């Protein structure tokens, strides 16, 4: 039927999961440089052709790995319980979003930095547009006098940057988390 998504075969689903898990493990152990198609194939127990057929390229594989995590967060933002999901005041939702996005970035920092170097991808553009619209909308509701679009872009910018990689090594995760929360709180504070 044309309007319904095709069901994935069980073996294809297993291979997809094995490939993504192997890629994540290689990133965790070796960083971006350690993720080659050969290593992923060997770790996942599949042929390189399976990876290329499914993901198209290393960039497509990384896109899928980041996307999987980002789409889970988007689902929580759209349908999850408050304060991350609908039903809480805009300021609380914004803080919850940045708490969750900061965790996502810190948990996957090498992957996020590698992702930033990939060529633009339509799914990536859609996801970025969703985050920008989400943050902008919450800022407009919480602080209508702000330039919400620019403020949203500036708040998002550090999370995928080399600066956070260095900060994680020098000041640690907890200080980054708290500093991001303080930054968002300062934007939300009335003048």
Query: Does the pLDDT value for residue 177 go beyond 80?
Result: yes
- How confident is the model at residue 150, as a pLDDT? 97
176: helix, strand or coil: helix
* Token duo for residue 153: 């872009």
More confident: 67 or 43:
43
**Contact 143/155 with Cβ under 8 angstroms?**
no
Mind listing the pLDDT tens digit for each residue in 124-135?
788 889 999 999
Q: How far is CA 49 from CA 19, 23, 103, 142, 184, in A?
A: 12, 15, 34, 50, 45
In this structure, of 67-71, 116-120, 171-175, the range with the lowest mean pLDDT score is: 116-120
Q: What is the pLDDT of residue 32?
A: 78
Q: What is the CATH number of domain 58-188?
A: 1.10.357.10
* CB-based contact 185:95 (threshold 8 Å): yes
Residue 187, pLDDT above cutoff 70: yes
Q: What is the pLDDT of residues 128-165, one digit of tens each?
A: 899 999 999 999 999 999 999 999 999 998 887 778 87
Number of H helices, E strands in the chain: 10, 0
Nearest alpha-carbon partner for 160 in 124, 99, 130, 117: 117
Q: Where are the domains of the chain?
A: 1-56, 58-188
State the pLDDT at residue 28: 83
Instruction: Return the sign of the alpha-carbon dihedral for residues 43, 159, 131, 97.
Output: positive
Q: Residues 107-121: what's their mean pLDDT?
A: 76
Same CATH fold assignment for domains 1-56 and 58-188: no
Tell me the average pLDDT across 57-75. 87
Which fold is adopted by the domain 1-56?
Arc Repressor Mutant, subunit A (1.10.10)
Check whether 27 has a pLDDT greater than 60.
Answer: yes
């Amino acid at each position: 039927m044309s309007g319904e998504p095709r069901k994935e075969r069980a073996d294809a689903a297993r291979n997809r999961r094995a490939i993504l898990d192997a890629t994540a493990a290689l990133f965790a152990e070796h960083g971006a440089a350690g993720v080659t198609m050969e290593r992923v194939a060997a770790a996942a127990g599949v042929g390189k052709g399976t990876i290329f057929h499914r993901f198209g390229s290393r960039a497509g594989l990384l896109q899928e790995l980041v996307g999987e995590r980002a789409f889970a967060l988007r689902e929580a933002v759209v349908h999850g319980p408050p304060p991350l999901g609908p039903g809480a005041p805009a300021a609380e939702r914004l803080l919850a979003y940045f708490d969750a996005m900061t965790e996502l970035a810190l948990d996957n920092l090498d992957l996020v930095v590698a992702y930033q170097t990939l060529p633009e991808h339509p799914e990536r553009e859609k996801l970025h547009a969703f985050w920008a619209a989400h943050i902008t909308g919450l800022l407009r509701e919480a602080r209508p006098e702000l330039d919400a679009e620019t403020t949203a872009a500036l708040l998002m910018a550090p999370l995928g940057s080399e600066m956070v990689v260095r900060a994680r090594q020098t000041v640690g995760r907890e200080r980054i988390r708290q500093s991001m929360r303080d930054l968002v709180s300062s934007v939300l504070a009335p003048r």
